[in-house]
Amino acid sequence: MRSLQIFDSGFKKSAFANEYKFFINESSLEDVNFEVVKEIILFKEQEIIKNTPTTNTDGNTGLGFNSLTSKFEHFNVFSWQEPEIQKIKKGVSDHLHFFLNKILMEVPVGLKVQCWANVMRKGEQILPHVHDVSNNTYVSGHVGVTTNETQTHYINPMKYFAGQDQEILSSDNKMGKVTFFSQSIPHYTDKVKEDLRISIAFDFTPVGHSRYENKNLVYLDPQ
Position 104 confidence tier, pLDDT thresholds 50, 70, 90: very high
Position 72 confidence tier, pLDDT thresholds 50, 70, 90: very high
Kindly provide the b/e burial profile for residues 116-141, where b requires at least 16 CB atoms within 10 angstroms of the residue's own CB.
bbbbbeeebebeeebbbeeeebbbbb
For residue 127, report the phi and psi dihedrals to the nearest 5 degrees: -85, 165
Distance of alpha carbon 120 from alpha carbon 127, whole angstroms: 12
Residue 90: the pLDDT is 98
Residue 196: the pLDDT is 94
Kindly report the average pLDDT of the chain as a whole number.
96
Among residues of the chain, what percentage have pLDDT more than 70? 100
Three state DSSP letters for 102-161? HCCCCCCCCCEEEEEEEEECCCCCCCCECCCCCCCCCEEEEEEEECCCCEEEEECHHHCC
Asked if the model's pLDDT at residue 114 lies above 80, the reply is: yes
Position 222 confidence tier, pLDDT thresholds 50, 70, 90: confident
Domain residue ranges in the chain: 29-219
pLDDT digit string (tens) for 138-164? 999 999 999 989 999 999 999 999 999
**CATH superfamily of the domain spanning 29-219:** q2cbj1_9rhob like domain (2.60.120.620)
